[in-house]
Amino acid sequence: MSLFQTPLRDGDQLDVSGAVVRLKVNARARRVSLRLDRTRREIVATAPSPRRLPEAAAFARARVDWITARLAELPDTTPLNPGQLIEVFGRPVRLETGTGRARWIEPEDGSTPRIAAMGDGEGYARAVMLVIRRKAGEVLVERTAHYAARLGVTMPKVSVADAKSRWGSCKPGQYGTPGVIRYSWRLALAPFEVADYVAAHECAHLLELNHGPRFWAHVRGLIGDERRHRAWLRSEGARLHAFGR
């Protein structure tokens, strides 16, 4: 080993036989370990301290077969092309080539909605996802307003982003200011009732910033038994994050 080799740092990425392995320091970890991050589609090698990062890197390089097997479990990516039929909040939506600004087209006769966008390849996919993101914002703002009213709380500010670790987050308001709720726009790719559950979940946090009995009582009072929606997100969440990649 060269004396001048750059030391490994928390967050560094390694190439292990073509697979991305991200190094992570976790002071609560008791040992070096590997896990699959299904959202980011990468392997995480965890070390209890910075000085043990080389050990974590060596452990990853020694587990090529395990890494290959775990990555093979990931859902296929979903490229976007004109003519494709996708689902947005559980509704079939047709992708087509358009001119000008990418847009959502809602036919007056009630037939299948369409997304029209210019470009091809990654450019086309980005334009389509921008339209879906706008639609996500519209629907999630409406559902947030609905549940905030039912709970008797002030309507929070709502935004959507491409969050990697959470489907939603809530910061309750203080001193007369409204709360803030942020959603992953990829909830638009889930069935409506699943996205609706997340909206109810985050609104319940405006009253209870925890996951205690009173919090779940609020959620169930809004949408009933939430367990099937949570199970759906656990089983299908990686597929939503593969969309458009």
**Tens digits of residue pLDDT in 175-213:** 888 999 999 999 999 999 999 999 999 999 999 999 999
- Tell me which residue of 141, 124, 123, 147 sits closest to 185, measured CA to CA: 141
Count of all residues that appear for the chain in the document: 245
What CATH class does 85-242 carry? alpha beta
Does 1 score more than 60 pLDDT? no
Q: What pTM value is reported for the model?
A: 0.79
- Tell me which residue of 200, 193, 188 sits closest to 162, measured CA to CA: 188
Token pair 């358009």 in the structure block, residue: 98
The contacts of residue 227 (CB under 8 Å, 6+ apart) are none
**Tens digits of residue pLDDT in 17-47:** 888 899 999 999 999 999 988 777 889 999 9
Neighbours of 232 (CB within 10 A): 15
The contacts of residue 184 (CB under 8 Å, 6+ apart) are 160, 161, 162, 163, 166, 167, 168
CA distances (Å), 101 to each of 104, 115, 116, 189, in order?
Answer: 10, 11, 8, 21
- Tell me which residue of 144, 172, 150, 140 sits closest to 218, measured CA to CA: 150
Residues of the chain with CATH 3.30.2010.10: 85-242
